[in-house]
Every structure is written in C-alpha cells, then in structure tokens.
Amino acid sequence: MTPQGHRAPPRINPDNYGMDLNSDDSTDDEAHPRKPIPSWARGTQLSQAIIHQYYHPPNLPELFGTILQLDLEDIFKKSKPRYHKRTSSAVWNSPPLQGSRVAGSLAYSLKKY
C-alpha cells in the first residue's frame, strides 16, 4: 500500500473577504482582523491611489449614464406648492470652494497613513 501524502491546506484568496450582505455575522475586530489588509489598501500605496483618484476622477456619466429628471408629481400623484418653491439652499451666488482648502483637507486626511 502507498502511504497517503499530507493534504495541502486549502488555497485562500487574499482579495476575497466573503462579504455577504445577508449575513448576521458581526464585523471583524479592527485590532485583530480575520484576514490581513492587502498592501494596496494601506500605507503609501493607499495614499498614492487616493491622490491619483483625486486628481484624475472617474468619468461618472460614462460609468452611470445620465440621470433623468425626477418628477415628484409622478411619484406622489399630487401637486403641492412646496415642490415648486426654491429655498435658500438652491441659490448659489458663489462658486464652490477651490484650491487650498480642498487640497489642504485632502493632504490633512492622508497624514495619518
């Protein structure tokens, strides 16, 4: 008879975290995760990926297509005066923040890595 060899341990895919949205299992303890965090998701590689995505954002209309205009009357089957009223949050008299504040917040957020 031929002796049986040692069984090889099952192959583990480091990128598969088996995330099941329907699972009732609790999340990992951050201090002791069940799987190691991949190198691309920590340290300088993460920082470089975030900076690259910040300065070269994806083309969202290309990814998701154009968004159709929402008709509240079609959804709620009633026309209410408040649907047509513009409040102060819809009035933008100045451009969005640019330059140092936005870039500074990005640099600050990456300092912990």
What's the pTM value of the predicted model, to 2 decimals? 0.38
Question: Using one digit for the tens of pLDDT, what is the confidence trace for 8-60?
Answer: 777 777 777 666 666 655 666 777 767 777 888 889 999 999 999 999 999 98
Q: What is the pLDDT of residue 67?
A: 83
Question: Using one digit for the tens of pLDDT, what is the confidence trace for 53-106?
Answer: 999 999 988 999 988 888 877 887 766 676 666 666 766 777 666 654 544 555
CB neighbour burial string for 50-60, b if at least 16 within 10 angstroms, e if fewer? eeeeeeeeeee
Q: What is the pLDDT of residue 55?
A: 96
Angle 13-16-17 (CA atoms, 0-180°, nearest 5)? 125
Backbone angles phi, psi at 34, to 5 degrees: -70, -30
